Amino acid sequence: MPEQTAAETTTPVSPTANIGVVGLAVMGSNLARNLASREGNTVAVYNRSRSKTDELVAEHPEAGFVPAFSYEEFAASLQKPRTALIMVKAGGPTDAVIDELMNVFEPGDIIIDGGNALFTDTIRREKAVRERGFNFVGMGVSGGEEGALLGPSLMPGGPDEAWVTLGPILRSIAAVAEGEPCVTHIGHDGAGHFVKMVHNGIEYADMQLIAEAYDLIRRATGASPAEIADVFAEWNTGELESYLIEITAEVLRQVDAETGTPLVDVILDQAGAKGTGGWTVQTAIDLGVPVSGIAEAVFARSLSSHPEQRSISGALPGPDDSTGEHLTGADADAFIEQVRLALYASKIVAYSQGFDEIRAGAAHYDWSIDLGAVSKIWRAGCIIRAQFLNRIADAYEAEPDLAVLLTAPYFVDALTRAQDAWRNIVALAAAAGIPAPAFSSSLAYYDGLRARRLPAALIQGQRDFFGAHTYKRIDKDGTFHTLWSGDRTEVEAEDTH
């Protein structure tokens, strides 16, 4: 008979834990440690591989973990209503753990999925679990490994009944911004994972915009990565202050130990993705919400990941850059300031588009989502934490039904101040052949919003010509169709938009 570990010989005889964690990879173990470090929490832990459980318990005796080595032991260790946080791979593994927990839990118990699940999967799971009498909560967790341990931003959905139990526990481990925990009950069923998805979409846009700013400065001024790091560090003391700006400076300063060159110059220029950015764009299309800045960020990663296409396209004609001269002195400083303003303006667009998508999703799925509360829980703990999230919270506090975030007075002032530089940077990038898709698409979106009339009228006429898709008129009510293949008279028609 195999020798048992010390942890395995101590099976809980009574329920002592108020929450349990299933799945003890880095995120799960860090969340478990975070939970255990907060007063009032006793944490049960379970992993399919016993070695991970033993390792966690042995390395952190101060946590007072209650180890379990079967789902039955895990359930027996939890106080009622039993509360279990699942931190396993999205998809089939999550479904498998849910099924195992329902076999040992009782009606009224709470199952939380803290992974990056697609929100429609969460809607499906919540319905199935609810039909068996359990509470299911899909919860977005942002902040990475460090946030999980020290305080993440948390976006739980699920039923009100579950929030009564979960609220105090989650508030105990969340990041804190200006005295407020970065967690709120987002809404029912898939609302939490929906908001986390959009958070990640905004993150894609923010990262792409920062990368474009870096590329523009380097190409135009010839500055080294370390010198550009100093620029970003300075930006992080002002209105652009954010986690992503902060870490950009750190990455640009890093020197590769093997070659002695800047690390950014030896990293392969092919950006990976795990799907949430694409989900954000696909969902926005389904909802009819333009998120062009986020979409261009997703597509830029896709383009970067096709070296075979890039290699054969490198000889395509572009603008004449034979002079090779770089901006210096005051000219370089002025250019860098214009890039900063363009970055800020484009960042405003990215967040505005993201909040538009959240509002549209809430309307479509009948969720009551407080957009101001969402902006507040993103102020700390998460990847897109930034100073100006306070300004977003102020905007929604002043006008909860604000239709377009960037029309709030603070952002109107910021865009007024930035727009000349923004337009100049986009024009210079195009003239120089420097790709800046997120900058340029953000500006195009802004101008599209402010246009009194768009060329969509011509598109609708074309659609009516080849497909009898009909159109509406500006001067009278009704739906119309022109008999293009006949005498081209106009007739009233059924709306086929």
Q: Which residue has the tokens 């049960």?
A: 44
Annotated active-site residue 196? The verdict is yes
Question: For the residues 238-257, what does the mean pLDDT come to?
Answer: 96
88 is in an annotated binding site: yes
Burial label for 383, CB within 10 Å (0-12, 13-18, 19+), is buried
At residue 324 the predicted structure's pLDDT band, cuts being 50, 70 and 90, is confident
49 is in an annotated binding site: yes
For residues 35 and 134, state if they share a domain: yes
142 is in an annotated binding site: yes
Distances (CA, A) of 173 to 13, 31, 154: 27, 8, 9
Cα–Cα dist 117/33, whole Å: 23
Q: Is the pLDDT of residue 64 over 80?
A: yes
Residue tagged active-site, from 196, 347, 357, 376: 196
For residues 71 and 184, state if they share a domain: yes
What total of structural domains would you count in the chain?
A: 3
Question: Which tens digit of pLDDT belongs to each residue from 252-310?
Answer: 999 999 999 999 999 999 898 878 999 999 999 999 999 999 999 999 999 999 999 99
Question: Which tens digit of pLDDT belongs to each residue from 136-174?
Answer: 999 999 999 999 999 999 999 999 999 999 999 999 999
Question: Which tens digit of pLDDT belongs to each residue from 336-386?
Answer: 999 999 999 999 999 999 999 999 999 999 999 999 999 999 999 999 998
At residue 322 the predicted structure's pLDDT band, cuts being 50, 70 and 90, is low
Question: For the residues 394-423, what does the mean pLDDT come to?
Answer: 96
Report the pLDDT value the prediction gives residue 291, as an integer from 0 to 100. Answer: 97
Proportion of the chain above pLDDT 70, given as a percent? 97
Tally DSSP H helices, then E strands, for the chain: 20, 11
90 is in an annotated binding site: yes
For residues 461 and 483, state if they share a domain: yes
Question: Which tens digit of pLDDT belongs to each residue from 200-227?
Answer: 999 999 999 999 999 999 999 999 999 9
Q: And the tokens for 438?
A: 């997120």
Q: Is the pLDDT of residue 12 over 80?
A: no
Cβ atoms < 10 Å from Cβ of 107 = 10
For residues 148 and 262, state if they share a domain: no
CA-based radius of gyration for the chain: 26
27 is in an annotated binding site: yes
Cα–Cα dist 16/78, whole Å: 6
Q: Are 135 and 98 in contact (CB under 8 A)?
A: no
For residues 207 and 351, state if they share a domain: yes
At residue 6 the predicted structure's pLDDT band, cuts being 50, 70 and 90, is very low
Orientation angle between helical segments 191-221 and 243-253, nearest 10 degrees: 40
Report the pLDDT value the prediction gives residue 320, as an integer from 0 to 100. Answer: 82
For residues 165 and 272, state if they share a domain: no
Structural domain containing residue 404: 195-311+323-448
Report the pLDDT value the prediction gives residue 4, as an integer from 0 to 100. Answer: 43
CATH number (domain holding residue 471):
1.20.5.320
469 is in an annotated binding site: yes
The pLDDT mean for the chain works out to 94
Query: Across the beta sheet with 153-156, what order do the strands follow?
Result: 66-67, 43-46, 19-22, 83-86, 110-113, 135-142, 153-156
195 is in an annotated binding site: no
Report the pLDDT value the prediction gives residue 325, as an integer from 0 to 100. Answer: 87
For residues 486 and 376, state if they share a domain: no
Q: Is the pLDDT of residue 2 over 60?
A: no
Residue tagged active-site, from 100, 203, 212, 357: 203
Does residue 165 form part of some domain? yes
